[in-house]
Structure 1
Amino acid sequence: MDEDQIFSLADSLREEEEAKGPRKAYGPDLAVRLICPECLKAVPNIMEEFSSGDLVCGDCGLVLGDRIVDTRSEWRTFANDSDGGDDPSRVGEASEGTAQLETFISFKDGKTGLSNQLQLAARSQTTRSKRSIETANRKIDNWCQVLDLPKAIVDTAKVVYQSADKGKLLRTKPLEPVVVACIFIACRQGNATRSFKDICRVTRVQKKLLAKCYKVLEKALTNGDQRGSRPEDLLGMYCNHLNMPPYVQGYCKDVIELARERGLGTSRSPLTVVGATIYFVGMLFGQPRTLAEIREVAGASEPTIRGVYKLYYAQREALVKKQWIEDGKADLSRLAKA
């Protein structure tokens, strides 16, 4: 194809485009309106609810869209306390009960002396109360990690310690037993009950000192309610350690309640009551565990467990429901003679 033919083809194409009229510009059609399909009003009353992220018809309440992004300016106050005034700053002191973020100043300063000056300035900015809370929070993090406790328990223990520190409840006591007592209270509040012996064995804190700190904190934080750990709270953990079937725990609870109604073992330690109940129910339902195995888990001695078991065995017919025997689940002949 020569040049004349190319030019003539181009002219013919241009003439065809001109015959079609002016080319339309691409862009959004501003005449499109959002109308409620229920109301069908020419002037719709569409409302944006940023609290729920919905686009709602103001007349009939039909949701027309969701996940609406709030593009308005945010005028909130980010002060650490109520006396901070109108402070739009988003930075400030870490909130209480959270992990502590610290900056450590190195001692290596090229022998210029700047390190000592910075450390003195940092210490002057930190009060005694803040230093004690930071140290306690670190210990709570470490002990809770050793005890394999969830984060909710960790945060609760920190809040308990801060309350004790503000009330100056245990200023004369060493820090270790106070921290461990806070963890023990947090475990009870979070249904992750641990016994005194379990916590003392891990933390190496003396049981008597821990009990004193616990009584002071419990009395101050619960308005005098000094209810100790119940045997029912320890059943789940000990049954799991002894590899008992799940249904055994429910029967143990029933036996403990029936024994409590008859005053059996009420003056004994919860550890002893749990150990004797597991020993009694295990034989009753064909899942026996030896006294040595139970002692290893519960921490109670074999003679004390056997003493509560004798009380259970003497009242065995009252502690075993007839329905269990009729269903063929329980058998009194399996029980060892006391």
Structure 2
Amino acid sequence: MSETTIRTTDAETERLNARTDEAESERCPECSGALVTDSERGETVCTDCGLVVEEDEIDHGPEWRAFDAREKDKKSRVGAPTTTMMHDKGLSTNIGWQNKDAYGRSLNASQRKKMQRLRTWNERFRTQNSKERNLKQALGEIDRMASALGLPESVRETASVIYRRALKDDLLPGRSIEGVATAALYAAARQANYPRSLDEMERVSRVDRMELTRTYRYIIRELGLEVAPADPESFVPRFTSDLGLSDEVERTARRLIDAARADGLLSGKSPVGIAAAAIYAAALLSNERVTQSEVSEVADISEVTIRNRYKELLEADGVQNMSA
């Protein structure tokens, strides 16, 4: 046997012995049972005989205790997580607007003047070029509109990512910052199944409906976003809640929409109009009082649309019931 073969065999033997020692260290020395670590007491205990193999272990966690996620986040001393909703992802310093020191005492005139000057220079340093200034303004618009529409933070994050992609692909020349920001938020809301109508978007946006629709189609096409058509059922919970109607009305409205979908009545019609008409028809069937005017105000559509659609929904539901 050659010297190289002997050396290789010795190395393999050492590795095998190390693995054997490691496996034995994970077993109880008395009964060879499995060992578990009790982090609260800092002990390693055998699950079979209860022998304490190690004690007074070092706790590498925090010295405080927390009983839920909110309390854990509150006691944590690390910084805020990065977010796409800020142009610098939240990594820069932010000077608060309160003119108070660390003890809550108000600053005097000279100190307030100094802090205002520091805030001004801090804002200048946070945006290094025109693209960052563009992004900062757009993300502020997205946050403002999402707050006015009651959209969750997940939708705002998605809209921020869509706008960043549009900015990176150089899709903004010839289009306003507000228009692209509104289109990104509209697409994000539909992707996350929190749809808002174009009328609602126009009400909180700084651009008109024509520019919004044109920019939205352009962004969807150029970025290749997959956005499914809006489902009328996604508007039902919000409308019934705003009108103060019961769960029975909501269930009946969903049933009417399903019946209309089975008859092919949803094709080519506004999902907002279908949802509003279904809620009005469901309220009539459930003997709950609501007027067409109240429904049209909540859904932001005309009463004529409700009158035309709710009759079609009732007929479709009647056909379904008779067939059953």
Q: TM-score, normalised by structure 1?
A: 0.61
Kindly provide the amino acid, as one letter, of the partner of residue 59 in structure 2.
V
Kindly provide the amino acid, as one letter, of the partner of residue 167 in structure 1.
D
Q: 1:231 to 1:54 in 2, by over 3 A?
A: farther
After TM superposition, list the pairs within 5 Å mapping 1:94-243 onto structure 2.
96-98=84-86, 100=90, 101=92, 126-221=128-223, 223=224, 225-243=226-244
Q: 1:321 to 1:252 in 2, by over 3 A?
A: farther
Q: 1:96 to 1:307 in 2, by over 3 A?
A: closer
| 2-structure distance, mates of 1:202, 1:63 | 67
Residue of structure 2 equivalent to 1:273: 274
| 1-structure distance, mates of 2:56, 2:132 | 45
| 1-structure distance, mates of 2:170, 2:57 | 49
Structure 1 residue 41 and structure 2 residue 30: aligned? yes
| 1-structure distance, mates of 2:201, 2:312 | 29
Name the structure, 1 or 2, with higher relative contact order (CA <8 Å, separation 6+).
Answer: 2
* DSSP-derived class of the 1:268 partner: coil
Kindly provide the amino acid, as one letter, of the partner of residue 132 in structure 1.
N
After TM superposition, list the pairs within 5 Å mapping 1:304-315 onto structure 2.
304-315=305-316
Contact kept? 1:259, 1:312, Cα under 8 Å: yes
Which of the pair is proportionally richer in helix? 2
Contact kept? 1:140, 1:154, Cα under 8 Å: yes
| 2-structure distance, mates of 1:55, 1:190 | 47
The structural deviation recorded for 1:241 is 0.9
The structural deviation recorded for 1:215 is 2.0
1:121-146 Cα offsets, whole Å, 9 max, x none, are: x5797122222112212222222223
Kindly provide the amino acid, as one letter, of the partner of residue 264 in structure 1.
L
The structural deviation recorded for 1:149 is 2.8
Instruction: Report the RMSD for the aligned CA atoms in angstroms.
Output: 4.3
Gaps of 5+ in 1: 1-35, 72-89, 109-114, 324-338
1:293-333 Cα offsets, whole Å, 9 max, x none, are: 1111111111122112232343341245899xxxxxxxxxx
Kindly provide the amino acid, as one letter, of the partner of residue 126 in structure 1.
Q
The structural deviation recorded for 1:69 is 3.0
Residue of structure 1 equivalent to 2:263: 262
Contact kept? 1:170, 1:213, Cα under 8 Å: no
1:241-277 Cα offsets, whole Å, 9 max, x none, are: 1111023222212211211121224221111111111
| 1-structure distance, mates of 2:220, 2:292 | 33
The structural deviation recorded for 1:189 is 3.3
Q: TM-score, normalised by structure 2?
A: 0.63
| 1-structure distance, mates of 2:233, 2:84 | 33
After TM superposition, list the pairs within 5 Å mapping 1:58-73 onto structure 2.
69-70=59-60
Q: 1:270 to 1:45 in 2, by over 3 A?
A: closer
Residue of structure 1 equivalent to 2:285: 284
Kindly, what percent of the aligned residue pairs are identical?
24
Gaps of 5+ in 2: 1-24, 62-77, 96-109, 111-116
Residue of structure 2 equivalent to 1:244: 245
Number of aligned residue pairs: give it: 255
| 1-structure distance, mates of 2:144, 2:206 | 14
| 1-structure distance, mates of 2:189, 2:51 | 45
